Amino acid sequence: MASSPVLILASASPRRADLLARVGISFIRRPVAVAEDVLPGERGPDAALRLARAKARSARDDADPEDAPLLACDTLVCCGGAVFGKPSDRTEARAMLRALSGRWHEVVTGIVLARPTGEIAADSVVTRVRFARLEPWEIDRYVDGGEPLGKAGAYAIQGAGAWFVERVEGSVTNVIGLPVERLRAMLLTAGHPGPSLRGPGGPGQSPASERNFS
């Protein structure tokens, strides 16, 4: 059994769940439905933090005062003045990948730690990523494989999308969707002990693929 307190993860993201499981944080999921639209002229870090706070507020509405702290995040990709969320379809995914091809972009995650009674800590974390110049057939093949759908910026660095990445400056877990370095600092500042650090394969723990998070 993990020694850390349980977190409530206000997200249905399997990537965030996997990152928490890998460091040994026990948690339950409480997915929320929040419109993830970026406002006209809104900067990426501001939008990501606003959306993460909206998710946290939504999760708090159904929380009991005695519930564990909840964690909410939102990840966006910024490139050349544009802010990309998740592509709505394969056509939009192709357009996003063409925009990222051969260029630096920023991946920004808004992260909020809160109790049912109020916010504990909030921040936005930025990582710079450079893509190789992509061939049109590479984009088509990647999009046709289905991975870009449901991913901010239309790629997954922990998946086949790693093939396109030339360089990363900053947190890799941030690019995946949860900057665990920042979460660690938030939990320590809030006085919570760290995770078990046993990882998903440690003694007494089941692999993440077999664990029941509900």
Q: Looking at the annotation, which residues are catalytic?
A: 74
CA angle at 159 for the pair 81 and 99, rounded to the nearest 5°: 25
CA angle at 58 for the pair 37 and 115, rounded to the nearest 5°: 125
C-alpha 154/C-alpha 142 separation (Å) is 10
Backbone angles phi, psi at 191, to 5 degrees: 85, 15
| Amino acid of residue 55 | K
Please list, in sequence order, all residues whose beta carbon lies within 8 angstroms of the beta carbon of residue 174, skipping any fewer than 6 positions away. Answer: 75, 107, 109, 125, 126, 127, 182
By CB atoms closer than 10 A (0-12, 13-18, 19+), residue 112 is buried
C-alpha 125/C-alpha 175 separation (Å) is 10
Both tokens of 34, joined, read 């929040």
Element (H, E) at 53: helix 44-61
